[in-house]
Amino acid sequence: MKSPRYLVPKGTYMADPAAHVFNGRLYIYPSHDVESGIPENDNGDHFDMRDYHVLSLDTIDGPVTDHGVVLDLKNIPWAGRQLWDSDCAHKNGKYYLYFSAKDKNDVFHIGVAVSDQPEGPFIPRPNHIAESYSIDPCAFADKGNYYLIFGGLWGGQLQRYRNNKAIACGKEPANHEPALCPKIVRLRDDMLEFAEAPRDVIIIDQYGHPLKAGDHDRRFFEASWMHKYNGKYYFSYSTGDTHCLCYAASGNLHGPFIYQGVILTPVVGWTTHHSICEFKGKWYLFHHDSKPSGGRTWLRSLKVTELEHLPDGSIKTIPGRQ
């Protein structure tokens, strides 16, 4: 694959791709963007998605199968609106779709839905995961345990919490204070609930100082993803209002993660969100942009491009606008 490739036909809008290889086939779990007519705002109300699809491919350049609607808002008993980013994990022959949605009081939580096959359909649990909050779950398996890494600022509501509890003022810290951290939590053996309280994923600079809330070029905003390469953990994420995909690395899953650099420079559109996956011996970046919709930031299109780990362990920066 030489240049970036759009994965779905023009007129179908999907975003936030979480890519995994199951049984030798590549599966993508995206958000399904729709034209809702809701005006754009900092809360992300214009991202008013109502269902999830699953895509799959046999080879990276081959045809993309759209498995259709695999989970619908109207079938999720606890959810009110806005099906945002999701991810999928496989354990003991079952597939678990973790997804972000607002409850009927407009508070984001993480839900889980279960299937016997990677392409769904997924049956939602009656309630969201207890004590879950915010958005953008990334499912990561390591040494026999399964984890979710999650969180997102602004419309993703992470600023409304400290130490896993809702706070009254719900504001981000001041610029000189440490930035809010994404969270990591181990899942219970049955994959349906948290096994522990979520912990901070701390991102530090080269001097060992946690990134500051005012460091908008580097601090975490949303779109957590974890991958492992050559025994090292790579945590990648979006910087939100500065529109980059960045990464930080650690020898330990629980960090701290040292900030490394930019994976993808800004794309057309406000949001940027991705996954990184090895498929048939090569590494790929799956992401989205709003170029095919003429820059309408709530109508995003999925893309894939090759990702290169350089000999020193760093990731080669990819230009977003190509």
Residue list 222-251, contact with ligand FUB (CB under 6 A)? 222-223
Our answer to whether residue 119 is catalytic in this structure is no
Size of the site for ligand FUB (CB under 6 A): 14
Q: Which residue has the tokens 């500065």?
A: 242
CA distance 273 to 288: 7
**3-class state of residue 268 by DSSP:** coil
Question: In the numeric block, which tokens belong to residue 126?
Answer: 């009656």
Q: Is the peptide bond before 173 cis (omega within 30 degrees of 0)?
A: no
Is 273 a binding residue for ligand FUB by CB under 6 A? The answer is yes
CA distance 111 to 132: 8
Is 200 a binding residue for ligand FUB by CB under 6 A? The answer is no
Our answer to whether residue 222 is catalytic in this structure is yes
Q: Which is nearer to ligand FUB, 39 or 63 (CB)?
A: 39
Is 47 a binding residue for ligand FUB by CB under 6 A? The answer is yes
List the catalytic residue out of 16, 87, 136, 289.
16
Question: In the numeric block, which tokens belong to residue 29?
Answer: 């779990």
Adjacent-strand bridge partners of 69: 53
Taking a C-beta distance cutoff of 8 angstroms, is the pair 149, 194 a contact?
no
Is 16 a binding residue for ligand FUB by CB under 6 A? The answer is yes
Q: What is the DSSP letter of 73?
A: G
| Smallest gap from residue 85 Cβ to ligand FUB (A) | 4
Taking a C-beta distance cutoff of 8 angstroms, is the pair 239, 246 a contact?
yes
Candidates 119, 136, 200, 289; binder of ligand FUB (CB under 6 A) is 136
Candidates 135, 138, 202, 307; binder of ligand FUB (CB under 6 A) is 135
| Smallest gap from residue 100 Cβ to ligand FUB (A) | 6
Taking a C-beta distance cutoff of 8 angstroms, is the pair 28, 18 a contact?
yes
| Smallest gap from residue 240 Cβ to ligand FUB (A) | 9
Is 158 a binding residue for ligand FUB by CB under 6 A? The answer is no
Is 85 a binding residue for ligand FUB by CB under 6 A? The answer is yes
Q: C-alpha 172: how far from its chain's center? A: 21
Helices and strands (H, E) in the chain, number of each type: 0, 24
| Smallest gap from residue 218 Cβ to ligand FUB (A) | 17
| Smallest gap from residue 206 Cβ to ligand FUB (A) | 27
| Smallest gap from residue 317 Cβ to ligand FUB (A) | 20
Adjacent-strand bridge partners of 306: 284
Is 84 a binding residue for ligand FUB by CB under 6 A? The answer is yes
CA distance 304 to 288: 8
Taking a C-beta distance cutoff of 8 angstroms, is the pair 96, 191 a contact?
yes
- Residue 241 CB-half CA count within 13 A: 11
| Smallest gap from residue 87 Cβ to ligand FUB (A) | 11
Residue list 53-82, contact with ligand FUB (CB under 6 A)? none
Residue list 92-121, contact with ligand FUB (CB under 6 A)? 100
List the catalytic residue out of 48, 85, 222, 289.
222
Q: Which is nearer to ligand FUB, 121 or 155 (CB)?
A: 155
Residue of 144, 275, 259, 274 lying closest to 201 (CA atoms): 259
Is 299 a binding residue for ligand FUB by CB under 6 A? The answer is no
Taking a C-beta distance cutoff of 8 angstroms, is the pair 223, 246 a contact?
no
Candidates 134, 159, 239, 271; binder of ligand FUB (CB under 6 A) is 271
**Looking at the annotation, which residues are catalytic?**
16, 222
Q: Which residues bind ligand FUB (CB under 6 A)?
A: 15-16, 31, 47, 84-85, 100, 135-136, 152, 222-223, 271, 273
